[in-house]
Amino acid sequence: MYENLVLFRTSAALARHAGAAQAIVAGNIANADTPGYRAQAMPDFVSELDRAAPLRQTRPGHIAPMPGSRATAVETSGEPSPDGNSVAIEREMLASVEAQRDHSRALAIWRHTMNVIRTSLGR
């Protein structure tokens, strides 16, 4: 029932995107000392939504459903160290915080939507 509501789908997609971004950050940090490793990053959520599912209307007032995040990691353009590794721990820490904020934002959207539904049902 809830998956048919746009706000629930959007918050779920944002949470999946944040989880994928956190996994990429973890992989970058794990390979911080690997010679030749190129750091990766997730594209931002909004640009991925626009690219993956452009809105299409079959009738006025209808909006096409939004799929989950299908973003793939891209290489970052950081300055490589002498051994060819481009991981910057400081940048990865900031990306980790951004992913955590996105996940918290997704949970807040979901929680607020649930409160609106409960209020409208009189509970």
Tokens of 20: 């994928």
State the DSSP H helix or E strand holding residue 91, giving kind and residue range, or none if neither: helix 89-121
- For position 7, what pLDDT does the model report? 83
| pTM for this predicted structure | 0.73
Please check whether residue 42 is in contact with residue 71, taking contact to mean a CB–CB distance below 8 angstroms: yes
Per-residue pLDDT tens digits of the chain, which is 123 residues long: 555 678 888 888 899 999 999 999 999 999 999 998 999 988 888 876 765 555 555 666 655 444 444 556 677 766 778 888 889 999 999 999 999 999 999 999 999 989 988 898 887
- For position 69, what pLDDT does the model report? 42
- In the chain, the number of structural domains is 1
| Domain extent at residue 18 | 2-121
